[in-house]
Amino acid sequence: MPEHEPTEHTDLAAVIKRVPKAIVCLLLALRFHELTTQNPFEVWIMIDRTAWRPQIDHSPLRVIRASGTALKEGAGFHRIEGVLVRVTDPAKTVADCFKYRSKVGTDVAVEALRDCWRQRKATMDEIHRYAKIDRVAKVMRPYMESLV
């Protein structure tokens, strides 16, 4: 619409409109939940590992693949600019950051864990539950113990 004022989530809503089964994840989910100082220039989405990679020209896209419970668990619906968008919950987002730490950086993952804990966006039990689903519980353990 010509009278529409774009927001920081305009690209996100446009991408999800084109790829409705996608789940917003990692850096963009951290930004959505206000758990990072990072300002991602790409739309980070998670799709099934067997799905076709979406081709979208108007927005830079970062596609993460997952399957099973790692894909299905821990995502809630939010209405963004009139579009129903699935975004990973704070606890799931933190666990995903550790799982994909080679893509986002260990420093970002640790910062996300620390901010999530300080802002009380999730309990350690919730984070640990998703860490087990993502198979990174042993990796996260020392970082989680340092906060408690």
Q: What are phi and psi of 53, to 5 degrees?
A: -75, 125
Which of these, 5, 13, 7, 6, lies nearest to 87 by C-alpha position? 13
Of the two residues 77 and 10, the one the predictor is more confident about is 77
Q: Is the pLDDT of residue 73 over 90?
A: yes
Task: Give the pLDDT of residue 58.
Answer: 75
Mean pLDDT of the region 77-90: 92
- Give the DSSP letter of residue 66: E
Least reliable range by pLDDT among 34-38, 111-115, 142-146? 34-38
Question: What is the Cα–Cα distance from 22 to 63, expressed in whole angstroms?
Answer: 9
The β-bridge relationship of strands 83-88 and 43-48 is: unpaired
User: How sure is the predictor about 13, in pLDDT bands with cuts at 50, 70 and 90?
Assistant: confident
Amino acid at position 36, single letter: T
Quick one: tokens of 8? 């920081």
Task: Give the pLDDT of residue 4.
Answer: 55
Q: Is the pLDDT of residue 38 over 60?
A: yes
Task: Give the pLDDT of residue 127.
Answer: 97
Task: Give the pLDDT of residue 63.
Answer: 93
Which of these, 75, 146, 88, 78, lies nearest to 117 by C-alpha position? 146
